[in-house]
Amino acid sequence: MLQTETKPKHYQKVIRADRWARRLITFGGYGIIASIVAILLFLAYQSLPLAKNAAIKTLFTFPASQGPSKALLTGIDPFQEIFYILDEAGHVQFYQTAGTKPLSEAQLPLSGNEKILAAAKGSLSSELFAAGTDSGRIITAEVRFQLDYSESGRAVIPSLSVKEIWKIPAAGKAASSNAASSDTLPDHVEKLAFSQNEDGSRFYAWVDHQGALWVRSYDAEEEVDYLHPLSQYLGESSVTALTISNHGENLVAAAANGIMRWFDLKDLEKAALRDEWSISNGPASALSYLLGDQAVAIGTAAGAVEVWFPVRTPSNLMKFRQIHSFRSHSAAVAQIYHSSRNRDFLTIDAEGAAQLHYSTTGKTEVQFPRPEFSIAAGAFAPKSDGILLVDAQKRFTLFRLDNPHPESTVKALFGKVWYEGYPGPEFVWQSTGGSDEFESKLSLIPLIFGTLKGTLYALLFSVPIALLAAIYVSQFAPFRLSRIVKPTVEIMAALPSVVIGFLAGLYFSPLFEQYLMSTFVFLILLPLIFLAGVAAWRAVPESYRMKIRPGFEVLFIIPVILIALQASASLGHPVENFLFRGNFQQWLYTTWGITYETRNSFVVGFALGFAVIPIIFTVSEDALSNVPKSLTSASLALGASRWQTVRRVVIPAASGGIFAAIMLGLGRAVGETMIVLMATGNTPIIDFNPFNGFRAMSACIAVEIPEAPVGGTLYRVLFLTALLLFVFTFVLNTLSSLVGERLRKKYARF
């Protein structure tokens, strides 16, 4: 009091400094909270678009243009500036999305009043199509969009070029028993499917006016044609729909009696029937292979929409199975178009209603607004960011399709999905494949499982060691020893995890594989020899035993370890010979079907343990040493042995800290990246078996984020993974402080 009066200046200074310090600390505290929230928000912001549903927006509607001819086929350029329409008279009209009247026009070389009956696109990368006419000709042509940079800016100039004109084999050549009446009709192409592969080889499948099914394979390299009549496989029923896979290797044909047939066209010289099955919701009225050439979208006369793909049977045959069914149409499905970017496909029914579906997830994403006139044809924009629909009056509507992440539904991320080529629904993580047509498999379950598996093995290894060490150092070790051990363990914590991962992956895992049996023998032998040693120690006369300074008994473990090491090294081989017929890995595989991976969970558990042990040790050692001496003294003075004191007094009193230590270790193991990255094979499998690896969330992010296109689905799913990790550690930490607090309240009020 007196001082403040005599030295007011000094006092004010103190107050001011105090205030500033308080502000700084408050600022720092809020800063940390703010940055954590910011990280959380950023992660959420990056991953939130995954949850967005597909949305369409009508960009413009082009009024009906002249001419009574029916529209058959349509397409649009990648910039969505020019689109075209092919009608049954062979007119190809080009329109500008910005303008109001036709831009230009081209004509397919048709003769007289020859009419196009069927048209089909045949390439994923260009606007190549084939058109079959009522006089039995098939014209292959391509629409090109050329970019022209003039002073007025960029312009897209469309053009049409005819590639090939040929005539189908004359009717009557096909085996047909009652062809009497149809013989009088000219040859014509009733149905047509077409595809050109990357070598330029072309595949045509068509049905002629007699109902005969044909395939023509044109080998571009050898410049040879192969013609395959397929009617002998068909039976009585007529073909209702056809589709050829995008690379021309497969043909699927639907018959009016509901029978579906799958032909293999891989060998250009023949076409072989591979599978035959029937569908139940009425005969297929439209078919389309989807991107990836595995799945076939089937639309039926009853309006059902299904996806089927071949699945390997136990007898090693590929059989088509129904995988998904989608929201039905109220009328027969007339057309199916597929995206060339992803597993989207568009179904259009006879009444003109259109729907957009995503094959992998089995989800119907969009129902298009019902037009005034029925839709005749549709097309995906090349980047799958737009859909063009044309009605019978040649009225166009262009929709912008906003569906950047169709493959990431909650079910796909966290549930089992039946992917193409898999025998059943599974949790699979396989984000990228060999080609753009790869079906990405983004189940987070294998990653979460991997993280938990790694953590589990790490904790199994490190918790006992770290806790026992902490108990020893804090309660039993002589000061001279603990003075060395503590800083050593702290140095261990400073060891970069890259180094640990490197050593584990490149040095330790082959070593472990080499001495696998010896390691196991060691793990069994060590406690046995230890117990034997203790028994022997008991037999030593007390007068000798007393000479050992308390706390130094631990040195006794050194000869035990040495003996166990020596014994297990020499016993490894005999044990392997005796129990496992000389080769443990072989035995493991033949008896349990377990494959041994060099970089397996044992190794990771061991290596991760190195990262986790220092944390658990340091924190729990602190907690144990902070148990007041008065409590230990009280216990000892009551005649409790040192171990009883530790067990009944010290550990309960330190339980809060020990719990927190384990949780911190858990958090570290969950978040650890480099070690799991380098010491596991990173195979995203779900298997508890310690002899194979796993892929942890953290390692997966590290491996895949550099490859993931910014803003793409994988990119966002990786952010979601990061968010999950964040939430996971957040929950762990909160849990640890909550439980720790309760334990402290209960046991540690001293």
What minimum distance in Å lies between the beta carbon of 629 and other proteins?
A: 8
Q: Which is nearer to other proteins, 9 or 749 (CB)?
A: 749
DSSP label of 184: G
What minimum distance in Å lies between the beta carbon of 622 and other proteins?
A: 18
For the stretch 474-483, contacts whose Cβ atoms lie closer than 8 Å and that sit 24 or more positions apart, written own/partner, are: 474/621, 474/624, 474/625, 474/650, 475/624, 475/632, 475/642, 475/645, 475/646, 475/650, 476/550, 476/551, 476/554, 476/642, 477/551, 477/554, 478/549, 478/550, 478/551, 478/552, 481/551, 481/552, 481/554
Q: Which is nearer to other proteins, 652 or 712 (CB)?
A: 652
- What is the Cα gyration radius of the chain? 37
DSSP 381-424: -TTSSEEEEEETT--EEEEEEE-S-TT--HHHHHS-B--TT-SS
Strands (E), 168-265: 189-196, 202-208, 213-219, 224-229, 239-244, 250-255, 259-264
Q: Which is nearer to other proteins, 649 or 675 (CB)?
A: 649
Which residue matches tokens 């189908």?
A: 168
What minimum distance in Å lies between the beta carbon of 745 and other proteins?
A: 10
Is residue 194 within 8 Å of 130, Cβ to Cβ? yes
Residue 583 φ/ψ, nearest 5 degrees: -145, 105
Q: Which is nearer to other proteins, 4 or 644 (CB)?
A: 644
What minimum distance in Å lies between the beta carbon of 651 and other proteins?
A: 12
3-state SS string over 46-107? HHHHHHCCCEEEEEEEECCCCCCCCEEEEEECCCCCEEEEEECCCEEEEEECCCCCEEEEEE
Residues 6+ apart with CB under 8 A from 535: none
What minimum distance in Å lies between the beta carbon of 644 and other proteins?
A: 5
Q: Which is nearer to other proteins, 27 or 537 (CB)?
A: 537
Percent of residues in the chain assigned helix, strand, coil, to nearest 5: 40, 25, 30
Q: Which is nearer to other proteins, 534 or 731 (CB)?
A: 534
DSSP label of 508: I
What minimum distance in Å lies between the beta carbon of 630 and other proteins?
A: 4
What minimum distance in Å lies between the beta carbon of 477 and other proteins?
A: 11
What minimum distance in Å lies between the beta carbon of 11 and other proteins?
A: 37
Residue type, 173: K
Q: Which is nearer to other proteins, 223 or 542 (CB)?
A: 542
Is residue 553 within 8 Å of 545, Cβ to Cβ? no
Q: Which is nearer to other proteins, 312 or 745 (CB)?
A: 745
Residues 6+ apart with CB under 8 A from 655: 743, 747
What minimum distance in Å lies between the beta carbon of 740 and other proteins?
A: 15
Q: Which is nearer to other proteins, 571 or 646 (CB)?
A: 646
Is residue 145 within 8 Å of 77, Cβ to Cβ? yes
> Degrees (nearest 5) of the Cα angle 18, 19, 25?
90
Q: Which is nearer to other proteins, 220 or 739 (CB)?
A: 739
CA 515 – CA 563 distance, rounded (Å): 17
For residue 228, what are the CA distances in angstroms to 173, 216, 502? Answer: 12, 6, 59
Helix (H, G, I), strand (E, B) or coil at 21: helix
What minimum distance in Å lies between the beta carbon of 480 and other proteins?
A: 9
What minimum distance in Å lies between the beta carbon of 552 and other proteins?
A: 12
What minimum distance in Å lies between the beta carbon of 636 and other proteins?
A: 7
Q: Which is nearer to other proteins, 440 or 474 (CB)?
A: 474
Q: Which is nearer to other proteins, 161 or 633 (CB)?
A: 633
What minimum distance in Å lies between the beta carbon of 694 and other proteins?
A: 41
Q: Which is nearer to other proteins, 4 or 641 (CB)?
A: 641
Sites of contact with other proteins (CB under 8 A): 478-479, 542-543, 546, 628, 630-631, 633-641, 644, 648-649, 652-653, 746-750
DSSP 643-697: HHHIIIIIHHHHHHHHHHHHHHHHHHHHH--HHHHHHS---------TTS----H
What minimum distance in Å lies between the beta carbon of 429 and other proteins?
A: 48
419: nearest Cα among 405, 402, 407:
407
What minimum distance in Å lies between the beta carbon of 699 and other proteins?
A: 42
Residues 6+ apart with CB under 8 A from 257: 235, 236, 237, 278, 283
Q: Which is nearer to other proteins, 373 or 552 (CB)?
A: 552
DSSP 254-302: EETTSEEEEEE-SSTT--EEEEEEE-SSS-EEEEEEPTTSS-EEEEETT
CB atoms within 10 A of CB 304: 21
CA 681 – CA 672 distance, rounded (Å): 15
DSSP 481-505: HHHHHHHHHHHHHHS-HHHHHHIII
Residue 205 φ/ψ, nearest 5 degrees: -130, 135
399: nearest Cα among 368, 358, 375:
368
CA 365 – CA 345 distance, rounded (Å): 10
Tell me the two tokens of residue 212: 């005969």
What minimum distance in Å lies between the beta carbon of 672 and other proteins?
A: 35
Is residue 513 within 8 Å of 598, Cβ to Cβ? yes
Residue type, 660: A
Q: Which is nearer to other proteins, 118 or 624 (CB)?
A: 624
What minimum distance in Å lies between the beta carbon of 555 and other proteins?
A: 17
What minimum distance in Å lies between the beta carbon of 486 and other proteins?
A: 16
